[in-house]
Amino acid sequence: MTELEKISYVKVLLGDSYEDISDDVISAYLRKAKNTILNRRYIVIPENACVPKKYEITQCELASRYIKRQDIEGEISHNENGVIRSFESINDEDLLSQILPVAVIL
């Protein structure tokens, strides 16, 4: 996927309530998601490493989650109009568990 395709895909994942978000903001969150994936995959990140094709959708999903949580990050408890939110820690393990680490034989 190209960067523009990833941005478009994240916009679809975000839906209409995030239509005013800029491409630059989405791109920043895609970089954050890339860093998360590469840190999960490699002990030492190779120079010029990029997200493997099979994890590009995961990168977009992580970016959309990061964007949706940007105003509620670290929230411990919230109750409004019957909606209850509570976070002890947010680790996105459901997505990150799909990433296979690369092993190197010394």
Q: How many domains does the chain have?
A: 1
Report whether pLDDT(89) > 60: no
pTM over 0.85: no
Give domain status of residue 20, yes or no.
yes
Would the CA dihedral through 84, 88, 91, 97 be positive or negative?
negative
Would the CA dihedral through 58, 41, 72, 6 be positive or negative?
negative
Give domain status of residue 32, yes or no.
yes
Model pLDDT for residues 27-86, shown as the tens digit of each residue: 999 999 999 999 999 988 888 899 999 999 999 999 998 998 876 655 556 667 776 666
User: E strand or H helix at 25, and its extent?
Assistant: helix 23-41
pLDDT for res 75? 57
Give domain status of residue 16, yes or no.
yes
Higher pLDDT, 54 or 19: 54
Give domain status of residue 106, yes or no.
no
Expressed as residue numbers, the domain containing 20 is: 3-96
